[in-house]
Amino acid sequence: MSDIRYLAPQTLDDAIAQYAAAEGAARILAGGTDLLVQMRSGLLKPSTILDVKKIPELTAIERTADGGFKIGAAISGAALEEDPDFGKAWPGVLEALNLIGSTQVQGRASMGGNLCNGSPAGDAVPALVAAGAVATIKGPNGSRELKVEDVPAGPGKTNLKPGEILVSFTFPARPKGSSDAYLRMIPRTEMDIAVVGVGVSLTLEGGTCTAARVGLGAVAPTVLLVEDAAKALIGSTLDDAAIEKAAAACSAACNPIDDKRGTIAYRTKVAGVLLKRTTAIAAERAGRT
Amino acid sequence: MNDQSNKWIGKRTVRPDGADKVTGRAAYAADATMPGMIWAKVLRSPHPHATIKSIDTSKAEALPGVKAVATAADFVDFPVDTPVPLGIQDMRWMSRNMLAKEKVLFHGHPIAAVAAINEEIAAEACALIEVEYDVLPFAIEIDDAIAKDAPILHDFMKFDGKPSNIAGTLEHTLGDVDAGFAEADVVIERSFTTKPVHQGYIETHACVVSVAPDNRTTIWSSSQGQFMVRAMTAYLTGIPQSNIKAIPAEIGGGFGGKTIVYLEPVATILSKKSGRPVKMVMTREEVMRATGPTSGSKSTVKIGAKKDGTIVAGQGTFYLQAGCLPGSPIRGAAGCAFAPYDIKNVHSFGYDVVSNRSKVAAYRAPGAPIGAFAVESVLDELAVELGMDPLKLRLKNAAKEGTKAAHGPTYPRIGYAETVEAALKSEHYNTPLTGKFQGRGVASGYWFNAGGESSAQVNITEDGNVVVTTGHPDIGGSRASIANITAELLGINYDQVSVQIGDTASIGYSNLTGGSRVLFASAMVVTESTEQVIEQLKGRAAKIWGIDPSQVVWEGGEARPMGEHSANFPSMSLEELAAKANATGGPIGAGSQSNTVGAEGGFATHVCDVEVDVDLGIVRVLRYTCFQDVGRAIHPSYVEGQLQGGVAQGIGWALNEEYIYNKKGQVDNPGFLDYRMPVCSDLPMLDCGIIEIPNPKHPQGVRGVGEVPLVPGPAAVRNAVHDALGIWIDDLPLSPPNVLAAIDANSSLQAAE
C-alpha cells in the first residue's frame, strides 16, 4: 500500500502553498464523508490529503456588514445547526445540508465539500443556488468570487482552477417576508441519494412574490438555476396558474439520464411536483397566510 | 395456548447470547485471528460470459509478500456428467461456482485466489494474474436466456433434446385442470414478474482456516451449518471429514444465503499451500456481485371459480432464474403456490433457467414468495370479480385436515383457516381506512418446513447445572428456546441451563440451519436426551434410597420417592444428585441423534395497509399484521422477531429491492445505497397475531416459524396498492418510477384526482 501524506495547515496561506506544491496529487479533506468513501472504494488514490478544518476562515460563522452571513466552507451541518440565527434566515439551506447522511455524518459533512464533490445530486447545492449564495475562492493568484451555480462543471468536476480552495459562502441579507425550503425525492425515508432535489427561496410582500430563485438538482450534469421557474413566480400571488407554470419550467429544464436511481420520465415529472411542494413550504415560512 | 402450568415454555427469557451481542463481545468469523495469519483475495471475472483459454499466475506468485495462489486446478474435479448431490446442492455446480473452471459465467465469478501477508498485496497480486478469455455473448434476463438464439451457458445441458438454458422442470398435478376450468363461472389469468432479491445479511462472508502439515484442518467461519462447511470443504479439497474441524462463529444474518460455501475451501487450499492460517473477508460489493440472491421470475397463473367462490381449478407456470448454474427453487414456487387451498384440480409447472448471473442461494422459504405472489394476486382479482371479501374467499377454500395438496401430502391438523379467521376478526381488518389513496391488501402463504438430522447432548455439571450442546448455528433465538424447553422438562431455573453450539468434532452430525427446521428438530433430540437424563437422575436417587427406580418420580426439579416410600426419604435436588454422581455411577448425561420427521407445514395470512403518494409514486406501509400458525411459541419474542423480520423482507421485495444490470451484464447497484432494503423509518411497527395449533407430531407442538412470514408479503403489498389506486400492477418492485408510470398509464385515476 502506498503511503499517504496528511497535512493540516493552520492558515489559509499555508494551505494554498501546500496545495499548490502538491501539484494536483493532493485532495482537500473537509468532513471527508465523500473523500474517504471514494478512497476506500479505490476510486481515488491521493498521495497527499490536505485537511482544511484547522483554518479559521473555513470554520467561521460571521454576520456580514449588510446583515447577511459568511459561512466557512468546512463547517459541518451539525455546527451550523447550533448557530442561533442562520437557521432562522435560511431554514431551507440548513435542512438541505442536514438531510445528508446520518447523525454521525452530519457532524462531519460540510456545504463546501458537498459543492466541491461535484455531484449533481448533492442536497445542499440546490438550496445554495436558490439562496443566491456566492462562493469565495482563494488560490495562488489571489481571491475571487463565483456564484454557487457557476462552481460545478459536470459530474465530479468544478470550475475551481488548480490550486484553488473554496473558503466560504456569502449569503445576502434577507428582506422581511423571505424564506426558503428544500425537498428531495428519495425512494426510502432515509439513507438515500436524491433522485430529484428542489430548493426554492422567495420573498413575499403583501401576498405578492417579489423575488424568487429556484435550484434544481439530480436532473442534469450539474445543479441548475431555473430562471424561468423564478420568473413564473415573481409578480404572482403564488396562485395555481403561476405555480403550474413554474413547475412546467422545472420539468422543461430537466436534462436527466435513465439510471439505477430513476428514469428520465420520472425525474422530469417529479421536478415539477417538488417545485410545487417546496414553494408551498417556503411561502408558508415567509409568512403567507 | 401456552399451558399455564408451564414455567418456562412460552416465557420471554433473556437470550443467552444477548449481552455479548449488544456489547460487541460476540465473536463473528471476521473477528478471528491467529499468529502468522495471512490474507487472501479473489480475482473475479470482468466478463459476464467467456471461455477461459489460459490462466498464468506466475507474475502474481513472484510478487514479494505472496504466499500462495490457487485456481480450480488445485481442487477436486467434479465432471459435469456425474451428479454428486449434497443436500439441495450438487458438488458439480458448487465447485464451478467457487472457482470458474472451463468458463466464467457471470461478472464477478471467482477465477483465482491469492494469499499474501496483507490484503493490499493479495489484491495487487490478483491484478497480476493473466487470464486469456474468449468473450461470449451473454444473457441476463429469463426471456433472453430462453429465446431461440440465446447464448447457451452449458453445452452439456439439453432440453427437448436441444442445447438449452432450461436446466430442469418440476410438475405437480392433481385432478384434471381442464375439466376444472370447464366447470368454472369465472376464470382469471395473469402474468407476473419479480426481480431477484438478496438476503441482505449485514455480516459479509468470512472465514479463517488453518491447515496443519498433517492436513488436520480447523475452520472458523460464519455459516448456517458447520457440518455443511465441513462436508463441502472435504469434497472440494479431498481432505477427509474426520480431519476437518469446522467451528461455527456467531452469525450476522443468513436468511438461507449462508447454506453454501464460497470461501472456506479456497482458504483451506491456500493455507495448505502456504503453511499459514488464511483469512478471507468479502466486501459488500463482492457479496452483491457474487453471492446468491434468490431468483427473479416470470409466471402465469390461472384460477377458475364458481359464482359462490368455490375454486375449481388452479394452474401456474413459473420460470425461475437459477443464476449461472442449475438449481433455482422451483420446488418452492410450484409446490407452495396453491398449498393453502383445497382445490380439486391443480397443475403447477416450474422451469429452472440458467443465465449469466451469480448462482442463486436459498432465501427464506426459497421460491415460495414467487409462487404466492402470482396466486395471491390472482385470488385478489377473483375476489373483486366475485364481489367477495378477499379473506372470506380464502376461508371458503382453505385447506384443512384431510386436504390433499398438489405437491403431495394429505394434511394432518393444520392451522391455515385459523390464520384467516384471526385476520377477519382482527381489530386491524375491521378498522376502516379513511385517507385518500389508502388501501388494504391481504395474502396468505405456505412453507413446507423441514425436519432432518439433529444431534444433542445434555450433561449435568458437577455443581448441578446443565449444559446442552446442539449442532445448529443460532440465527433466530434457538439457544434461548432450547434453554426454555430444557428448564421446563427438568423443572429447574432457566439460568441453570447453558446452551452451546458444538463444533463438528464435539457434537454429532446436525444438518444446517434452514427449512425452518432448527427448533423443531433440535427440541426433539434435546427432549429425548433430557428425558434420558431424568431417568438417570431417578435411578441415582433410587440407588441412594435403596428402592426401585420405578418408585421415584422427577418433579419440580427434584427426585421424590413415591407410593409406600413417599414419607421415608426427603426429596433430592439436582444439585444433591450431581454432588453424589461419582458415588452412584459416574457422570450424568445423555445424547440423542435422530433423523427427525413430522415437521408439518406452516401457514400465514397477512393484512397490509398502504398509502400512495400519487404524484411521486411512493408507496408507504401504514400498518401491517402477520397472522401465523406457529404450532407453539416456545419463546414468543423470537417468534415475533421471525415474523417481523420476514415481513420487513417481504415489504422490501415488494417495494424497492431489485438487482439492476447495466448493458455490459454487470450489477449496477452492488451496495446498500442503491440496493434499497427498507430502513427502520420506512416501516411501521409490524404487528404479530400468533396462533398456536400445536403440531401433533412434536413433543412441544413446534412448527417451523422462520420462513412463512416472508411468503405472503409481496402479494399483500401489491393487493393493498390495488385497493388504494384501483390499478393492478403485476411487476415488482413497486418502486416510485414503476408506480408513477402505472398511474400515468391509467387515465381513470387521473380523472379521479
Q: What's the pLDDT score for residue A2?
A: 67
Looking at the predicted structure, is the pLDDT value of residue A10 above 80? yes
Looking at the predicted structure, is the pLDDT value of residue B752 above 70? no
Q: In whole angstroms, what is the distance from residue B478 CA to residue B496 CA?
A: 17
Question: Domains of chain B, with CATH numbers?
Answer: 18-25+451-596 (3.30.365.10), 32-136+203-252+258-290 (3.90.1170.50), 297-449+600-752 (3.30.365.10)
| DSSP bridge pairs for A200 | A181, A214
Mean pLDDT of A203-215: 97
The answer to whether B736 faces chain A, any CB pair under 8 Å, is yes
Q: Contacts for B12-21 with beta carbons within 8 Å, 24 or more apart?
A: B12/B635, B12/B636, B12/B637, B13/B480, B13/B483, B13/B484, B13/B494, B13/B635, B14/B480, B15/B477, B15/B479, B15/B480, B15/B638, B16/B479, B16/B480, B16/B483, B16/B498, B16/B499, B17/B250, B17/B474, B17/B479, B20/B250, B21/B250
Q: In whole angstroms, what is the distance from residue A208 CA to residue A238 CA?
A: 7
Beginning with the edge strand found earlier in the chain, give each strand of the sheet holding B50-56 in spatial order: B103-104, B50-56, B130-135
Instruction: Find, in chain B, the residue whose alpha carbon is nearest to that of A274.
Output: B616
Q: What is the pLDDT of residues B341-369, one digit of tens each?
A: 999 999 999 999 999 999 999 999 999 99
Q: What is the pLDDT of residues B660-675, one digit of tens each?
A: 999 999 999 999 999 9
Q: What's the pLDDT score for residue B631?
A: 96
Q: Measuring CA to CA, which residue among B158, B160, B170, B164 is closest to residue B319?
A: B170
Å between B452 CA and nearest CA of chain A: 40
Q: Measuring CA to CA, which residue among B479, B482, B471, B509 is closest to residue B87?
A: B509
Mean pLDDT, chain B, integer: 96
Q: In whole angstroms, what is the distance from residue B226 CA to residue B91 CA?
A: 17
Q: In whole angstroms, what is the distance from residue B455 CA to residue B237 CA?
A: 26
Å between A100 CA and nearest CA of chain B: 13
Q: What's the pLDDT score for residue B751?
A: 45
Q: In whole angstroms, what is the distance from residue B753 CA to residue A93 CA?
A: 33
Looking at the predicted structure, is the pLDDT value of residue B7 above 70? yes
The answer to whether B1 faces chain A, any CB pair under 8 Å, is no
Q: Measuring CA to CA, which residue among B713, B705, B709 is closest to residue B733?
A: B713
Chain A interface disruption, residue of B195, B664, B740, most A CBs within 10 A? B740
Instruction: Find, in chain B, the residue whose alpha carbon is nearest to that of A1.
Output: B120
Out of B669, B681, B737, the one facing A263 most closely (by C-beta) is: B737
Q: In whole angstroms, what is the distance from residue B270 CA to residue B278 CA?
A: 7
Instruction: Find, in chain A, the residue whose alpha carbon is nearest to that of B675.
Output: A260
Are residues B740 and A269, on separate chains, in Cβ contact within 8 Å?
A: yes
Q: In whole angstroms, what is the distance from residue B588 CA to residue B554 CA?
A: 15
Are residues B732 and B656 in contact, defined by beta-carbon separation less than 8 angstroms? Answer: no
3-state secondary structure of B357: coil
**Cell 385517507 found at:** B435
| DSSP bridge pairs for A138 | A143, A165
Q: What is the pLDDT of residues B506-534, one digit of tens each?
A: 999 999 999 999 999 999 999 999 999 99
Q: What's the pLDDT score for residue A42?
A: 85
- Torsion sign over Cα A41, A43, A46, A50: negative
Q: In whole angstroms, what is the distance from residue B475 CA to residue B469 CA?
A: 16
Q: Place B1 in a pLDDT band, splitting at 50, 70 and 90.
A: very low
Q: What percent of chain B has pLDDT over 70?
A: 99
Q: What's the pLDDT score for residue A6?
A: 96
Q: What's the pLDDT score for residue A288?
A: 86
Looking at the predicted structure, is the pLDDT value of residue B2 above 60? no
Query: Which residues on chain A are in Cβ contact (under 8 Å) with B39?
Result: none
DSSP strand E in A126-218: where?
134-139, 142-147, 152-154, 157-158, 165-171, 178-185, 196-205, 208-217
Looking at the predicted structure, is the pLDDT value of residue B753 above 60? no
Question: Domains of chain A, with CATH numbers?
Answer: 1-50 (3.30.43.10), 178-285 (3.30.390.50)
Query: Which residues on chain A are in Cβ contact (under 8 Å) with B668?
Result: 259-260
| DSSP bridge pairs for B86 | B89
Chain B interface disruption, residue of A183, A263, A266, A278, most B CBs within 10 A? A266
Looking at the predicted structure, is the pLDDT value of residue B36 above 60? yes
Residues in chain A, total: 289
Q: In whole angstroms, what is the distance from residue A233 CA to residue A241 CA?
A: 10
Looking at the predicted structure, is the pLDDT value of residue B749 above 70? no
Write the CA distances from B466 to A124, A187, B534, B540, integer angstroms.
59, 50, 12, 17
% helix / strand / coil in chain B, to the nearest 5? Answer: 30, 25, 40
Chain A interface disruption, residue of B676, B677, B732, most A CBs within 10 A? B676
Q: In whole angstroms, what is the distance from residue B560 CA to residue B552 CA?
A: 6
Q: What is the pLDDT of residues B231-282, one digit of tens each?
A: 999 999 999 999 999 999 999 999 999 999 999 999 999 999 999 999 999 9
Q: What is the pLDDT of residues B96-135, one digit of tens each?
A: 999 999 999 999 999 999 999 999 999 999 999 999 999 9
Are residues B656 and A188, on separate chains, in Cβ contact within 8 Å?
A: yes
Mean pLDDT of B457-476: 97
B79: number of Cβ within 10 Å: 9
Q: In whole angstroms, what is the distance from residue B186 CA to residue B302 CA?
A: 10
Q: What's the pLDDT score for residue A289?
A: 72
Ramachandran assignment for B668, one of left (phi > 0), alpha (psi -120 to 50 degrees), beta (any other) = alpha
Instruction: Find, in chain B, the residue whose alpha carbon is nearest to that of A276.
Output: B615
Query: Which residues on chain A are in Cβ contact (under 8 Å) with B656?
Result: 187-188
